[in-house]
């Protein structure tokens, strides 16, 4: 049976989450900021209309914010992750096959619903159910390929007359929408390719579809070729309902205040390493490669700038925080330079494998491994108990890495103290 993809995408998801618990924010301009209150990452329709652009640094839109009394929130990932889980759970019941694509969107396979009216109606049903059960508004795009489903969703969001559902199973409608869509809106066509395409005289998605496949392959890559095939209705990207194990784990942050002191930076990097190690254990994985990177701000023209990273291998695969933190510390030492104001640091773990697929090394000490596992389990249990935290000597916990979060909303759904009250 030919696949029928539906892309369900929440409307300005982070803003919608904030609105759930503050209904007075409906119809008002609202924005949510990235970590550190750096950039705008989610905007309500009203904020978009006022000219707040996506990814704009806060200081560049501060005027607009004040002039129009835009409501501002720091990002509250605990809240968004919990609402996301509710959305996905509801969707699971509406479709047998689904792929969670990101925190706020999922692909469904609707191959069972074949008649044209049935599909559109089912799309509306999805919208209504999610709004009723979770309270989050969504748009649905339906099409024979994922890239076209993305396009359909773009149409549903962009043109309110669609009522939030666009069915692109029909070729004539595909062509119509492709014709009025700028090429840069297509899934897989980023900023660089958009510029290059425009230089070739290709401005609309329809013009892209008409590009010969060999040209796409030669001038761009196999990725572009696939995009064009998909836009032509030929499915090249399958539904992936069993996400593969992670290939790398990254923990990095920009700092609210620059760091100049080695010990402070070391504590921060150790904390990142410990966090990364914890994520590793959550996925029952082990790592053999640790990478540490540090940098000054790339935006500051007046200051001396420096960026460097270092990578090293552990002697065997491990997910023991002690080993990972120790190696990260060594790596930091090797790239640290005095007299710079550091703006960002990160720890990346690569070369991952699943714990139960591990080939023991020749010099592995099984007893030591068992001991390490027990210790790490104990640490994770305590840290997840909600009753206290333990950490290694070098870490800098509870400091939130010098982050700015001036507009944080309560963790309404995941902390007892923050439960909303009704009077």
Instruction: For tokens 């095939």, name the residue.
Output: 229
Of 33-41, 159-167, 207-215, 411-419, which part binds DNA (CB under 7 A)? Answer: 33-41
Q: Taking the chain, what is the end-to-end CA distance rounded to the nearest angstrom?
A: 54
The CA-atom distances, in angstroms, between 77 and each of 186, 231, 247, 255, 412 are 28, 34, 23, 18, 11
Q: Of 20 and 403, which has the nearer Cβ to DNA?
A: 403
Examine residue 319 and tell whether it contacts DNA (CB under 7 A): no
C-beta of 163: minimal distance to DNA in Å?
A: 22
Cβ proximity of 148 and 142 under 8 Å: no
Among 120, 146, 229, 253, binds DNA (CB under 7 A): 253
Using DSSP, how many helices (H) and how many strands (E) does the chain show? 14, 12
Q: What's the token pair of residue 165?
A: 């559902």
Among 81, 200, 213, 222, binds DNA (CB under 7 A): 222
- Dihedral sign computed on CA atoms, order 128, 13, 407, 71: negative
Four-CA torsion 266, 272, 277, 281, nearest 10 degrees: 160
Cβ proximity of 217 and 365 under 8 Å: no
Examine residue 311 and tell whether it contacts DNA (CB under 7 A): yes
Examine residue 251 and tell whether it contacts DNA (CB under 7 A): yes
Question: Up-side HSE of residue 317: CA atoms within 13 Å toward CB?
Answer: 20
Q: What's the token pair of residue 381?
A: 């249990």
C-beta of 284: minimal distance to DNA in Å?
A: 14
Of 118-126, 221-229, 259-267, 411-419, which part binds DNA (CB under 7 A)? Answer: 221-229
CA distance 38 to 353: 34
Phi-psi region of 386 (alpha: psi -120 to 50; beta: other; left: phi over 0): left
Of 54-62, 86-94, 157-165, 204-212, which part binds DNA (CB under 7 A)? Answer: 54-62
Of 86-94, 297-305, 322-330, 354-362, which part binds DNA (CB under 7 A)? Answer: 297-305
CA distance 284 to 377: 11
Of 98-106, 110-118, 170-178, 373-381, which part binds DNA (CB under 7 A)? Answer: 98-106
Examine residue 28 and tell whether it contacts DNA (CB under 7 A): no
Q: Closest Cα partner for 327 from 314, 316, 317?
A: 314
Examine residue 340 and tell whether it contacts DNA (CB under 7 A): no
Q: Of 249 and 331, which has the nearer Cβ to DNA?
A: 249
Instruction: For tokens 């990260």, name the residue.
Output: 328
User: For DNA, how many residues bind (rule: CB under 7 A)?
Assistant: 47
Q: Of 48 and 369, which has the nearer Cβ to DNA?
A: 48
Stretch 58-77 residues interacting with DNA (CB under 7 A): 58-59
Q: What's the token pair of residue 183?
A: 């090429």
Q: What's the token pair of residue 275?
A: 């966090």
Among 18, 46, 71, 104, binds DNA (CB under 7 A): 104
Q: What's the token pair of residue 68?
A: 């129009």
Examine residue 344 and tell whether it contacts DNA (CB under 7 A): yes
Examine residue 235 and tell whether it contacts DNA (CB under 7 A): no
Among 103, 111, 307, 408, binds DNA (CB under 7 A): 103
Q: Of 200 and 419, which has the nearer Cβ to DNA?
A: 200
Stretch 356-415 residues interacting with DNA (CB under 7 A): none
Of 206-214, 216-224, 370-378, 409-417, which part binds DNA (CB under 7 A)? Answer: 216-224
Examine residue 1 and tell whether it contacts DNA (CB under 7 A): no
Q: Of 14 and 412, which has the nearer Cβ to DNA?
A: 14
CA distance 4 to 112: 8
Cβ proximity of 227 and 147 under 8 Å: yes
Stretch 157-196 residues interacting with DNA (CB under 7 A): 186-194
Examine residue 101 and tell whether it contacts DNA (CB under 7 A): yes
Q: Closest Cα partner for 169 from 182, 151, 186?
A: 151
Q: Of 1 and 362, which has the nearer Cβ to DNA?
A: 362
Among 46, 105, 267, 278, binds DNA (CB under 7 A): 105
Q: Closest Cα partner for 168 from 188, 189, 147?
A: 147
Of 106-114, 215-223, 259-267, 380-388, which part binds DNA (CB under 7 A)? Answer: 215-223
Residue ranges in 69-170 assigned as alpha helix (H): 77-94, 116-133, 146-158
Among 22, 28, 38, 312, binds DNA (CB under 7 A): 38
DSSP string of 141-172?
EEESSHHHHHHHHHHHHH-GGGTTEEE--SHH
Examine residue 299 and tell whether it contacts DNA (CB under 7 A): yes
Summarize as ranges the residues that interact with DNA (CB under 7 A): 34-36, 38-39, 41, 55, 57-59, 101-105, 150, 186-194, 221-223, 244, 246-254, 258, 279, 297, 299-300, 311, 343-344, 346
């Amino acid at each position: 049976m030919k696949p029928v993809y539906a892309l369900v995408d929440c409307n300005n998801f982070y803003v919608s989450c904030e609105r759930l618990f503050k209904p007075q924010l409906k119809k008002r301009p609202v924005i949510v900021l990235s970590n550190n209150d750096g950039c705008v990452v989610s905007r309500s329709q009203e904020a978009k209309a006022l000219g707040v652009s996506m990814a704009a640094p806060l200081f560049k839109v501060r005027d607009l914010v004040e002039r129009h009394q835009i409501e501002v929130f720091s990002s509250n990932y605990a809240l968004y992750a919990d609402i996301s889980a509710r959305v996905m759970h509801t969707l699971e019941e509406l479709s047998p096959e689904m792929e969670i694509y990101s925190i706020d969107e999922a692909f469904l396979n609707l191959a069972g619903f074949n008649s044209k009216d049935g599909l559109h109606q089912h799309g509306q049903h999805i919208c209504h159910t999610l709004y009723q059960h979770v309270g989050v508004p969504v748009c649905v795009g339906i099409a024979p390929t994922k890239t076209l489903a993305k396009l359909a969703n773009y149409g549903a969001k962009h043109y309110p007359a669609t009522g939030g559902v666009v069915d692109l199973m029909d070729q004539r409608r595909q062509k119509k929408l492709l014709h009025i869509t700028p090429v840069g809106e297509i899934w897989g066509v980023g900023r660089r390719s958009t510029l290059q395409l425009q230089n070739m005289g290709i401005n609309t998605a329809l013009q892209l579809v008409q590009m010969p496949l060999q040209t796409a392959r030669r001038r761009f890559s196999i990725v572009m070729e696939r995009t064009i095939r998909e836009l032509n209705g030929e499915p090249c990207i399958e539904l992936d309902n069993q996400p593969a194990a992670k290939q790398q784990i990254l923990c990095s942050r920009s700092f609210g205040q620059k760091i100049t002191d080695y010990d402070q930076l070391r504590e921060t990097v150790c904390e990142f390493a410990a966090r990364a190690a914890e994520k590793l254990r959550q996925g029952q994985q082990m790592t053999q490669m640790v990478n540490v990177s540090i940098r000054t701000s790339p935006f500051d023209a007046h200051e001396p700038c420096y960026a460097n990273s270092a990578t090293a291998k552990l002697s065997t695969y491990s997910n023991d925080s002690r080993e990972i933190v120790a190696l990260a510390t060594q790596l930091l030492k090797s790239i640290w330079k005095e007299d710079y104001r550091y703006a960002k640091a990160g720890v990346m773990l690569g070369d991952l494998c699943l714990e139960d697929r591990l080939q023991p090394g020749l010099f592995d000490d099984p007893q030591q491994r068992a001991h390490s596992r027990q210790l790490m389990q104990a640490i994770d249990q305590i840290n997840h108990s909600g009753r206290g935290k333990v950490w290694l000597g070098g870490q800098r916990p509870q400091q939130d890495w010098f982050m700015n979060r001036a507009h944080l909303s309560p963790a309404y759904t995941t902390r007892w103290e923050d439960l909303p009250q009704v009077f």
